Structure 1
């Protein structure tokens, strides 16, 4: 008999956790499980990539509202209230939206769905959570030790980096709790990345990709975590010092207008381009000289996996997952997690490009351990063994 699984996530907008979930679902055997995927908001580019055999349910429908325009407030308020009521009274959700279905497994695909899964009225279901972020960072200030401990209510805690694994193991009070923690590399498809990097790569009509000067590309959802504000400030500082180069930022998010405004305030519109969301960013990766990760915090940055696959020269801030992915600095330049660190890294790239030759050489011979098949097999085994 097929195992019945409920998976919960906010939406399927562009993001690392969303991409990873969809890749995982695409590689599941369809005759083995019966899956309901419940979204808070039926929205996002990855909706079209969900396999047809998976049943997609939702609480609200429509695009995410990231502004506070007067005309949007009633819909925004309704969504928040509706989700809050269903969170407070989960029996209503399970009765009316999930039609009183009994699940064998309930799966929080991101840490933010912790309480929704743990408060399920289905006491006999096995519960899994997938942690994609370094919750010890100050941005997750509400994750006190007590908050961390709540995750041990799950039967399995899947984590995506060595750093996150250590954080949880320190808080485990016995061997049983330690056994709940399992580190799994994100399932990502190297073949897809390589194939897509070739699509339309001759037709990139972006001024910033005319390589008279070095081009730095950065990709991610545009919000403060990604540090695009400090990337632009460093860009301006280096230009003022006479070090010519260009910046290309691909991505969208609630902070997009703020970053756009900052670009104008810094008067770098001629040298920095915000392209917004691009369905296939890989040809831009390929064409740029350097990939730069300016993040303030991460869990295990998916985007670095993509940059490694395309054998890019990499500069990355020292956040969770980076040392693991870049093999302690053998595959790319790891800089201090600060504006000063980003400045030093970019300056080195511009003044001493030769210093990146060793990284390129190491990448040529490097076989990545992030194997799609192995990752999917590991998660399937966890599901089957529960």
Structure 2
């Protein structure tokens, strides 16, 4: 998209989305494949010859161009607008296994930006520690803005029926092996066996759905470890459960943790990615390592230690203050304005 502020023009977007005739795909499978092939070919041409979309379609005369994620680095750096200042933005853990095929190109591209923004302090620290010789452009850590009012409104849309008087844990995330749901299910089964009744609702879909479904049957927890699939609005479940749990092996700066803090829900989470920047152990949440014993102990603690849970709930009442959206917007605006003046 393009934003104009006074005499400053900012461009942030990707080539190809303006092709409305390609956005409205037919239901005919053969024609749909042809349309997809045509779109792919057109996008390939746009990337090879960026001057075509920049001058004929986007009319790119922006003062500043922003790549809001690493998948957009190539498009922004290859822009035919050589006069614009380029900003790169990284939210991902550079050591994440699935990211590795893209890492060599990302490392080549980062120094080419005029300015660079990291989505969390942890994201920056991991990059610097892993690649200490990488030359970074001027940079800053800016957290994601949180739509506080929208989250509260969505959370109040309905009250889910958990069909139990036992404690309920909720987790929201993609069903991927690194999300730790297999480990969580095994811990859940042990807790039940040891006399700590509770239910867990997992909201999300992914490639691990079948494996997790089979495991729940093997462990006999089909009715207490509920795989709900994807939901348009998970917030009522987060708001009305007793606890939230994130058992991930790795994360970046997960928005769902910020959202859950806004909803003042006690959280158990692995201390990975940018999560320790948001959660203070035994103050406004509970941090653990990616370890079954620690996960078991934390869940047991939440179910049995009312004093600790009450303390965390009291401290969560001030959660909104740590997400100052105006401060975030001002920081980005200042970067853009100062960069355009160079």
Specify the TM-score bucket, using the shorter chain as the normaliser.
Answer: 0.7 to 0.9
Matched position secondary structure for 1:38 = coil
1:199 corresponds in structure 2 to: 157
Contact 1:86-1:92 at 8 Å conserved across structures: no
C-alpha distance in 2 between matches for 1:101 and 1:216: 49
Q: Residues 352 and 229 of structure 1: is their aligned pair in 2 closer, same or farther, counting only changes over 3 Å?
A: same
C-alpha distance in 2 between matches for 1:31 and 1:79: 37
Compute the displacement of 1:29 (Å).
Answer: 7.4
Q: Residues 256 and 96 of structure 1: is their aligned pair in 2 closer, same or farther, counting only changes over 3 Å?
A: farther
Compute the displacement of 1:97 (Å).
Answer: 8.0
Q: Residues 99 and 149 of structure 1: is their aligned pair in 2 closer, same or farther, counting only changes over 3 Å?
A: closer
Compute the displacement of 1:135 (Å).
Answer: 1.3
Cα deviation per residue 1:108-135 (whole Å; 9 max; x = unaligned)?
Answer: 2222322333233433322222211221
Contact 1:234-1:343 at 8 Å conserved across structures: yes
TM superposition score normalised by structure 2: 0.80
Compute the displacement of 1:145 (Å).
Answer: 7.5
1:38 aligned onto 2:7? no
C-alpha distance in 1 between matches for 2:19 and 2:279: 38
TM superposition score normalised by structure 1: 0.72
Compute the displacement of 1:86 (Å).
Answer: 4.4
Matched position secondary structure for 1:327 = coil
1:161 corresponds in structure 2 to: 120
1:101 aligned onto 2:77? no
1:267 corresponds in structure 2 to: 220
After superposition, residues 1-386 of structure 1 pair within 5 angstroms as 4=2, 37-38=13-14, 61=23, 78=37, 82=41, 85-86=44-45, 89-91=48-50, 94=53, 98=57, 101-142=60-101, 147-148=106-107, 150-169=109-128, 171=131, 180-201=138-159, 204=160, 206=161, 209-365=162-318, 368-386=321-339
Please tell me the root mean square deviation across aligned C-alpha atoms, in Å: 3.8
Number of residue pairs aligned between Structure 1 and Structure 2: 335
C-alpha distance in 2 between matches for 1:237 and 1:75: 52
Q: Residues 310 and 367 of structure 1: is their aligned pair in 2 closer, same or farther, counting only changes over 3 Å?
A: closer
C-alpha distance in 2 between matches for 1:273 and 1:104: 50
Contact 1:228-1:294 at 8 Å conserved across structures: yes
Q: Which runs of no fewer than 5 residues in structure 1 stay unpaired? A: 6-27, 43-55, 64-69
